[in-house]
């Protein structure tokens, strides 16, 4: 199953929230992303069927190994791009918002070049 950008965003959100609050529930994702319960429920259902997310009996969501891999890749891209834009003089909030748009489409080659640039 190939994930679309929205699926990647949900996985990244679960990763970020799990670092922040520990146990993540669908309602936490609703509040964080500003989406309705039905929208989040549908997305989580698709991610479960794709093997990216599991839920325990209490409704707490966890990333599978594959889900974590995708989430971490997007999370890392977001952080690298945000840092790059900040170093170019973009304010932190705008840099983060723009990185969110860029993180799904940038090539691995370009991201690696930006990482090397930042490290210098």
pLDDT digits (tens, 9 = 90+) for 78-102: 999 999 999 999 999 999 999 988 9
User: Is it true that domain 72-119 has CATH number 1.10.60.10?
Assistant: yes
CATH number of 5-69: 1.10.10.10
pTM: 0.86
Q: CA 106, CA 53: separation in Å to the nearest integer? A: 25
Cβ–Cβ < 8 Å for 54, 61: yes
| Residues 28-70: tens digit of each pLDDT | 999 999 999 999 999 999 999 999 999 998 989 999 999 999 9
**Domain spans in the chain, listed from the N-terminal domain onward:** 5-69, 72-119
């Amino acid at each position: 199953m190939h994930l679309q950008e929205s699926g990647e965003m949900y996985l990244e959100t679960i990763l970020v929230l799990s670092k922040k609050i520990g146990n993540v529930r669908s309602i936490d994702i609703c509040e964080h992303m500003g989406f309705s319960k039905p929208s989040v429920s549908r997305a989580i259902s698709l991610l479960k069927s794709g093997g990216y997310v599991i839920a325990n009996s209490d409704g707490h969501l966890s990333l599978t190994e594959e889900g974590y891999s995708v989430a971490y890749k997007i999370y890392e891209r977001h952080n690298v791009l945000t840092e790059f834009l900040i170093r170019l003089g973009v304010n932190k909030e705008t840099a983060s918002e723009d990185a969110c748009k860029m993180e799904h489409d940038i090539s691995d080659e370009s991201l690696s070049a930006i990482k090397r640039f930042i490290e210098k």
